[in-house]
Amino acid sequence: MRDWLLRVLRSVPGRIVAAFTFLLFAIIARELLLGLVRAATGLRRTPPLWLSPHTDFVVRPAGIAYAFGGAALMIALGLGAYRLFVRWLENRPAKEISRPFAAELALGTALGSVFVLAIAGALALGGWLRLSWSGAWQFALVSLAAAATASVVEEIAVRGVLLRIPEEKLGSWVALGSTALIFGALHATNRGATAWSTIAVALSGGLVLGAAFILTRRLWLPIGIHFGVNATQGALLGAPVSGRKAQGWLHSDLDGNPLWTGGTFGLEGSALVLPIGALLGCVLLALAWRRGRIQPAFWQRAGCLAG
């Protein structure tokens, strides 16, 4: 009975379910601990810790500390849950979150920021984007904390679990394509989402982030890219992040065809995302190919063995 259960848990579907169970417990633990913090400190109105803050929230020093503390707690619990899952069920070190990571995080953040700034620059040159100083630096700090939380937890779930585990059987191309579609679908119900924005997120964000993981076999580069994109949109430019309002150091006034501006969904829903994202994704995949990081599917491996 025990051997049968272990075989089920160590199958591809079993490990995916187990990994998400570990992450769910991490989220529940975060909520319980923060509930104790709110009860002990008397905090009643606290900023959202996952996504960008609402514009009607008045951020005070206690709220900023709460946001950064909550983000640090969720990141620590999320990484810890992934490490425990890998150690317990896969019986190996969690090399996907091993050190060194600072260089990959920094490179990813720079790539994500340049990605967004390139789109914003093109829109500004076309007269579709006007920037002004917002004076909302408090909100910008909360947006940074939210961007950090979202980038770590979402990359663990999508690239660390939904891409990595099926890739062992289905190969890199199928796993990359399927997670790109999943990543787009996860954003399809957000405010301002359209069929076009969903395709843009799937073919650019899903492709780029998945390619970054395949290239390095670690989560730090995709986490950095994800953080750079969200933080630059929300904390710096004050533009919507996947349809969620944000306030940053600057205020973005988008005026023009939503096909190009992304509308209320944000810059990542712009048609300009596709060529830039496709270029970056193809560069990352080309590097992964040259380094032998592309994994074949099980039927391709069987064919090689038969030959």
- pLDDT of 47-69, one tens digit each? 555 543 344 444 567 778 888 88
Average model confidence (pLDDT) across the chain: 87
Report the pLDDT value the prediction gives residue 139, as an integer from 0 to 100: 78
Is this model's pTM higher than 0.85 or not? yes
Report the pLDDT value the prediction gives residue 2, as an integer from 0 to 100: 65
Q: How confident is the model at residue 8 (pLDDT cuts 50, 70, 90)?
A: confident
DSSP for the chain reads -HHHHHHHHTSHHHHHHHHHHHHHHHHHHHHHHHHHHHHHHT--S---SSSPPPTT----HHHHHHHHHHHHHHHHHHHHHHHHHIIIII-S--GGGPSP-HHHHHHHHHHHHHHHHHHHHHHHHTTSEEEEE---HHHHHHHHHHHHHHHHHHHIIIIIIIIHHHHHHHHHHHHHHHHHHHHHHHTTTSTT--HHHHHHIIIIIIHHHHHHHHHHSSSHHHHHHHHHHHHIIIIIT---BTTB----SEEEEE-S-HHHH-GGG-GGGSTTHHHHHHHHHHHHHHHHHHTT-PPPPHHHHHHHHH-
Q: What is the CA radius of gyration of the chain?
A: 20
Region 163-178: mean pLDDT is 96
Q: How confident is the model at residue 42 (pLDDT cuts 50, 70, 90)?
A: confident
Region 287-307: mean pLDDT is 80
Region 96-124: mean pLDDT is 93
In a domain, 304, yes or no: no
In a domain, 145, yes or no: yes
Range(s) of the domain holding residue 10? 2-298
Q: How confident is the model at residue 45 (pLDDT cuts 50, 70, 90)?
A: low
In a domain, 305, yes or no: no
In a domain, 268, yes or no: yes
Domain count within the chain: 1
Please give the backbone phi and psi of residue 244, each rounded to the nearest 5 degrees, phi first.
-105, 130
Comparing 144-153, 175-184, 241-250, which segment has the lowest mean pLDDT? 241-250
Q: What percent of the chain has pLDDT over 90?
A: 51
In a domain, 213, yes or no: yes
DSSP for 237-252 reads T---BTTB----SEEE
Q: How confident is the model at residue 23 (pLDDT cuts 50, 70, 90)?
A: very high
Residue 20 pLDDT > 50, yes or no? Answer: yes
In a domain, 306, yes or no: no
Report the pLDDT value the prediction gives residue 53, as an integer from 0 to 100: 39
Residue 271 pLDDT > 90, yes or no? Answer: no
In a domain, 264, yes or no: yes
- pLDDT of 213-267, one tens digit each? 999 999 999 999 999 999 999 899 988 888 887 778 898 888 888 888 888 888 9
In a domain, 107, yes or no: yes
Handedness of CA 95, 99, 104, 109 (dihedral sign): positive
Residue type (1 letter), 63 = G
Report the pLDDT value the prediction gives residue 303, as an integer from 0 to 100: 59
Region 26-55: mean pLDDT is 71
